[in-house]
Structure 1
Amino acid sequence: MALARSRRSQRHIDYWPGFVDALSVMLLVITFLLSVFMLSQFFMSREVSGKDSALGRLNRQIEELTSLLALERSKSSSDQSSLASLQATLDATAKERNRLQGVVDAGVLAGGGAAVATSDAAGAVTREKDNTSRALAQVDILNQQIAALRKQLGALEDALGASESRDKDSQARIAELGSRLNVALAQKVQELARYRSDFFGRLREILGNRPGIRVVGDRFVFQSEVLFDSGQATVNPDGHAELDQLASAVIELEREIPPDIAWILRVDGHTDKRPITSPQFKSNWDLSASRAIAVVQYLVGKGVDPQRLLAAGFGEFQPIDTGDSDDALRRNRRIELKLTER
């Protein structure tokens, strides 16, 4: 009986302490894993926060750069390629940021679970570190591109400033030359006006107060009857004497006027408004031009330089008297001489 009790007492073993020890070890392991995971989440959050700050600064830099590029886009087509490269890098960075944000969000949700395997946590931390490193490397590259582009913009601004300075200098020189040219032209016009006055004064002395010859403004006027027969364009004998004296005055004028003054003696033919019936001339315009040419040719024959003469015909379209009387019609039939600039 006593032997039976001893055997039963030997078979009764207390397992509870060992179970408690195993459970304690398991709790310690789980606590360690949770601590590791929480620490990884903490460091990963700090890295992501720093990355977001860097990306925020990058976005502000990109906005500033975009504004600068908008101002310079019209000035240099070469910046288009740099802008396209910058935009591509920006898009890639934005995609990476969105992906990292998704990973962070997923990691935060996963942290709410009761247990996470150590290998998974360590792998997630490693991947996040790698992603963060790549993102920071892209940020550095983008900053370098921004700096290079700013240098290009600075060079463009310097070139533009130099071009504007040269343009201002050119405009100033052009204005000075224009002013000097205007002064020179004014002097030449004054000199020509003086010679014109002398020339007409000399003609008055030569031709005197003969009937059919008068001065009207800045023109010396011959009535057509003084030089031509009615309806004809050939200088008559009486007109030869008048034109001979005119030729002598013009030749003398050629010797007096300096060669750098461009002048001509314009010979204008005019008729009255009555239609011409001569088969030799088709119109009054034809008759007036032919008479002006005849005077010019006569003067050339007397030695006047043809480069100093101009013949023009006006027909009946420039009357000095609009009346219909015989005297008005006679006044409109005329040859006018005008000394003017060429």
Structure 2
Amino acid sequence: MALVRNRKAIRHVDYWPGFVDALSTLLLSIMFLLSVFVLAQFLLSQEITGKDAVLNRLNSQINELTQLLSLEQGNKQDLEDTIANLQASLTSAQNEQSRLQSLLSQGAGAGAAAEGKISELSTGLENEKQISARALSQVEILNQQIMALRKQIGALEEALNASETRDKESNTKIADLGKRLNVALAQRVQELNRYRSDFFGRLREILSDRENIRIVGDRFVFQSEVLFPSGTAVLNEAGSEEMKKLAVALIDLQKEIPDEINWVLRVDGHTDNVALSGTGQFKDNWELSSARAISVVKFLIANGVPANRLVAAGFGEFQPLEPGDTPEVRARNRRIELKLTER
């Protein structure tokens, strides 16, 4: 029974306190090791920091030595330049010394030459004095001539003033004559306009029954179909009859217009904008319009109108009465115009 109880007691032994002791010992060991590691790290960092400071000081000293070396090299170069300049100055001084010695040796010979030059200059001075005396006499003569010229200029100024006065009077007269001339010209224009009105009135009476004849501004306009066959410059029978009436009116008008009015009847030929083929009698509308105007003028001359009172001109298609390409517009642009005007 006692043995059984001992076995039970052995089975119930408590291991926990031993385990705790072992764990505590292990923790203390770890903490000790960590403390040693931290201390070692601290000491190592202190040593490294000290080495960095030493290294920085060394680098600073190296930089200072480098700067000192550069300064010394610069000073050396300056000294070398100074020495070179001094050597150049010395060489120049030696050359100048040689030149001065040469001049000094030449000075003895130059003295004699200078004396000769002085003598020559003295002779020249005497000559100049003589020339100056002659010049003074000429200046006196010139002064007298200037006085005479001043008197002449004064006389010319008086004459000029008198001429300006006469010019003013002449300008006044010219202005008055211009006004009179303008009035006379205006009267002539009025007279010519009156005769033009009479001429137009007579033509209206003579040609009032024709639809293809009309007045445009200060011109009588004949449609080309009234006077000419298409594409020709020969007056047809009806056109010849109309031009005979016109010739009679012009001859009667000539008797009434005074001879001092230099009037003319201008005959202008115009065509439409249809180009000619160029293979017929006329190459283009310029020739056709000019030929028709000349044909009318020659017919009037043949019927007693003085040639010096007639002018013929051709304008082709370049002075239309109306713009456009319709048959009606082209018919109105094909025309002969009569204008009584002054030459």
Task: Place the TM-score, normalised by the shorter chain, in its bin.
Answer: 0.5 to 0.7
Secondary structure of 1:339's aligned partner: strand
Cross-structure match for 1:217: 217
The letter for the 1-side match of 2:165 is S
The letter for the 2-side match of 1:300 is I
How far apart, CA to CA, are the structure 2 residues paired with 1:233 and 1:336? 15
How far apart, CA to CA, are the structure 1 residues paired with 2:298 and 2:145? 81
Cross-structure match for 1:169: 169
| CA spacing shift, 1:223–1:143, aligned 2, 3 Å | closer
Deviations 1:62-111 (A, max 9, x none): xxxxxxxxxxxxxxxxxxxxxxxxxx99x849x9xxxxxxxxxxxxxxxx
Secondary structure of 2:171's aligned partner: helix
Secondary structure of 2:243's aligned partner: helix
Query: Deviation at 1:169?
Result: 2.8
Q: Which runs of 5+ in 2 are unaligned?
A: 1-131
| CA spacing shift, 1:92–1:201, aligned 2, 3 Å | same
How far apart, CA to CA, are the structure 2 residues paired with 1:298 and 1:147? 79
Cross-structure match for 2:297: 296
| CA spacing shift, 1:162–1:229, aligned 2, 3 Å | same
Q: Which runs of 5+ in 1 are unaligned?
A: 1-87, 96-137
Deviations 1:93-140 (A, max 9, x none): 9x9xxxxxxxxxxxxxxxxxxxxxxxxxxxxxxxxxxxxxxxxxx7xx
Query: Deviation at 1:310?
Result: 0.6
Say whether residues 1:262 and 2:248 are aligned partners: no
| CA spacing shift, 1:146–1:258, aligned 2, 3 Å | closer
Secondary structure of 1:158's aligned partner: helix
How far apart, CA to CA, are the structure 2 residues paired with 1:144 and 1:239? 89
The letter for the 2-side match of 1:338 is K
How far apart, CA to CA, are the structure 2 residues paired with 1:245 and 1:254? 14
How far apart, CA to CA, are the structure 1 residues paired with 2:333 and 2:302? 27
How far apart, CA to CA, are the structure 2 residues paired with 1:328 and 1:274? 12
Query: Deviation at 1:241?
Result: 1.4
Say whether residues 1:151 and 2:151 are aligned partners: yes
Query: Deviation at 1:147?
Result: 5.1
Cross-structure match for 2:10: none
Of structures 1 and 2, the larger Rg is shown by 2
Cross-structure match for 2:102: none
| CA spacing shift, 1:210–1:142, aligned 2, 3 Å | closer
So what's the TM-score if we normalise by structure 2?
A: 0.57
| CA spacing shift, 1:207–1:158, aligned 2, 3 Å | same
Matches for 1:19-38 after TM superposition, within 5 Å: none
Query: Deviation at 1:149?
Result: 4.5
Query: Deviation at 1:238?
Result: 1.3
Cross-structure match for 2:316: 315
Cross-structure match for 2:236: 236
Cross-structure match for 2:333: 332
Secondary structure of 2:240's aligned partner: helix
The letter for the 2-side match of 1:155 is A
Query: Deviation at 1:170?
Result: 2.8
Secondary structure of 1:200's aligned partner: helix
The letter for the 2-side match of 1:275 is A
Cross-structure match for 1:248: 248
| CA spacing shift, 1:207–1:154, aligned 2, 3 Å | same
| CA spacing shift, 1:142–1:313, aligned 2, 3 Å | closer
Task: State the 4+ residue runs in structure 1 displaced beyond 6 angstroms.
Answer: 141-146
Secondary structure of 1:293's aligned partner: helix
How far apart, CA to CA, are the structure 2 residues paired with 1:169 and 1:205? 54
Deviations 1:189-245 (A, max 9, x none): 100000001110111111114111000000000000000000000000111111111
The letter for the 2-side match of 1:280 is Q
| CA spacing shift, 1:228–1:149, aligned 2, 3 Å | closer
Query: Deviation at 1:333?
Result: 0.2
How far apart, CA to CA, are the structure 2 residues paired with 1:183 and 1:303? 34
Secondary structure of 1:261's aligned partner: coil
Secondary structure of 2:195's aligned partner: helix
State the aligned residue count: 210
| CA spacing shift, 1:252–1:92, aligned 2, 3 Å | same
Cross-structure match for 2:226: 226
Matches for 1:1-342 after TM superposition, within 5 Å: 92=136, 148-277=148-277, 278-342=279-343
Aligned-residue CA RMSD in angstroms? 2.4
> Once the two structures are aligned, what percentage of the paired residues are identical?
64
So what's the TM-score if we normalise by structure 1?
A: 0.57
How far apart, CA to CA, are the structure 2 residues paired with 1:217 and 1:169? 44
How far apart, CA to CA, are the structure 2 residues paired with 1:263 and 1:176? 27
Moved more, 212-221 or 149-158: 149-158
